Amino acid sequence: MKVSVRVPATTANLGPGFDCFGLALQIYNTITIEETIMPKEDIEIIIITHEDKEINEMHLPTDNSNVIYRAIELLYGYVGQIPSAMKITIDTEIPIAKGLGSSASVIVGSLMAANKLLGSPADLDALLSIATEVEGHPDNITSAILGSFVLSSLEDDGSIIYQKIDWPQDWKLTLCIPDYELATNISRSVLPEEVKMQDAVFNARRCAMFIQALQTKNSELMKIAMQDKLHQPYRIRLVPGLDEIIDNLKNVDEVLGTALSGAGPSILVISKGNNIETIKSIIKSTWEKYSVKADIRTIGVDLDGAKII
């Protein structure tokens, strides 16, 4: 028996919502798990990529150190079983190490597929907790599973509190993916262990504004809400031109906000109107000064989340 799961890419933080805001995007990975009988190894991982270059083994190792296998082991342990021999195929469309939730997608996909093979003993809450234990934070995980925008919180007992909120249909997304990678651990290493009280309060205010703007579709409030002082100021030096892009786009009509996508280096722009070409031109010209090439595209919001196919 084999099961395939299609999982969307995600963009996290969206400015102020560090480790708690996530939004699902219409780019997908497909993870297929098939129970097999293998004489030598208990796992085989096959990676199919649609990019020109090969995937670095550091990102997706093909042995038991892969996050997929760790997630499956936790799930089987949850139900009191040991994983059987299996073949795992990862059909990748989500760029790796670009701040688009590639690791969350394979974790979610493998858990949902393995859970189906087991007869679906784990409910949604259990899957969220297991996936977050592997990933480390719930923002990408919850939006990958549920779709659309999700506000989430990892509690002290390992449970996940979450709330899905509809994304306004007329708020457009422009995704800017540069031609270099930025590992999450490197991006997190530049963050301080402690922040100033006024910065924490600033972000708390902006998070409240963001949720209110989203629920009321208040474009003017969203222009204020996407400001951040907890992570982007420290990551600017890892993403050349980020500060310039944010400043330049502030003056573009109908741009609601610009943010680093997850840990970066991709950038997400939220806008309302027919100014996509202007946004693309500003980002392209800014990055050209730093010799950065980029794939700049409009992208839709995935509304449904991960699905068994």
pLDDT recorded at residue 45:
78
Q: What is the pTM of this model?
A: 0.92
pLDDT recorded at residue 57:
42
| Average pLDDT for 206-218 | 97
Residue 86 tokens read as 């299996």
Between residues 42 and 216, the one the model is more confident about: 216
| Average pLDDT for 196-223 | 97
- Residue 164: how many CB atoms within 10 A of its CB? 18
Tell me the residue length of the chain. Answer: 309
Cβ(238)–Cβ(265) under 8 Å? yes
| Average pLDDT for 227-252 | 94
Per-residue pLDDT tens digits for 166-208: 999 999 999 999 999 998 899 999 999 999 999 999 999 999 9
Q: What percentage of the chain reaches a pLDDT higher than 70?
A: 93
3-state secondary structure (DSSP) of residue 299: strand
- The Cα–Cα gap between 182 and 98 comes to 6
| Average pLDDT for 1-25 | 97
Q: Which long-range contacts (CB under 8 A, 24 or more apart) does 237-241 make?
A: 237/190, 238/182, 238/186, 238/187, 238/190, 238/264, 238/265, 239/178, 239/182, 239/264, 239/265, 239/267, 240/287, 240/290, 240/292, 241/286, 241/287, 241/289, 241/290, 241/292
pLDDT recorded at residue 168:
95
Per-residue pLDDT tens digits for 54-85: 444 445 555 566 788 889 999 999 999 888 78
- The residue among 225, 268, 272, 273 whose CA lies nearest residue 98 is 268
Q: Is the pLDDT of residue 16 over 70?
A: yes
Residue 19 tokens read as 């480790």
Between residues 35 and 244, the one the model is more confident about: 244
The domains located in the chain, with CATH, are 2-166+302-308 (3.30.230.10), 172-299 (3.30.70.890)
Among 69-73, 159-163, 254-258, the minimum mean pLDDT is found in 69-73
pLDDT recorded at residue 297:
93
